[in-house]
Chain A
């Protein structure tokens, strides 16, 4: 079955430290890959996306993600975390559900806490 896994429910880092959030998917082909961020009480904001081409993609707010086909992963990274990055992060994968139809599946999310 198609699935998206974010292994870390909660991560705490210090401000200025580097960050890596993990995302793995299970799918027979290369899906469309996304990372969204959600601050408390807000909607989801797209950080970055991968459709094809260069496997290292740059997003907003200094985030980047790398698609690794061999590991079925799309991990999110940031070299230096800011206190304002504290939020819930969702990996999402659009996979073909039949014909020309795609379905977007979200991971369970990773809550990021940033210590001063």
Chain B
């Protein structure tokens, strides 16, 4: 069982839809991350939140909008996505930003039609 919980597990959305991915951890970690993983590829960093503030944005298109409502929650709001955005979206957390091991959730498998 993972200590980082992601919902939903699977999501199918059209290009005009608005949806959100959710991530929750209760380990007291102060850094949270969104990664995107295409098939047979390593995870690619999208965003990092440190102490609830956006620390890193890896030049991600604005159709992806992260939000960190509190230290335990991380959301990723999706709007007007493209089919090439279909991927496994992984959330992770760590005690502090990158200076400690990352704990990953099981991901949300997103399909954009």
Contacts and interface: CB of A to CB of B under 8 A. Distances in A.
Contacts of B90: 43-44
Interface of chain A: mostly helix, strand, loop or mixed: strand
B102 A46 contact: yes
A71 interface: no
B98 A94 contact: yes
Nearest to B55: A101
Contacts of B40: 109
Contact of B98 (A41, A44, A46, A103): A103
A83 interface: no
B2 interface: yes
The B interface, classified by DSSP as helix, strand, loop or mixed, is loop
A27 interface: no
Interface in A6-52: 32, 34, 36, 41-46, 49
Interface residues of B, number: 22
Interface stretch (B14-22, B59-67, B72-80, B103-111): B103-111
Contacts of A108: 41-42
Interface in B21-54: 40-43, 45
B2 A43 contact: yes
B109 A104 contact: no
A90 B42 contact: yes
B85 interface: no
Contact of B109 (A34, A41, A109): A41
A90 B42 CA distance: 7
The 9 A-B residue pairs whose C-beta atoms are closest, nearest first, are A106-B42, A102-B98, A43-B104, A44-B104, A43-B106, A46-B101, A94-B98, A43-B105, A43-B107
19 contacts: A34-B101, A36-B104, A43-B90, A43-B92, A43-B104, A44-B43, A44-B102, A45-B104, A46-B102, A49-B101, A90-B43, A94-B99, A102-B98, A102-B99, A103-B56, A106-B42, A108-B41, A108-B42, A109-B40
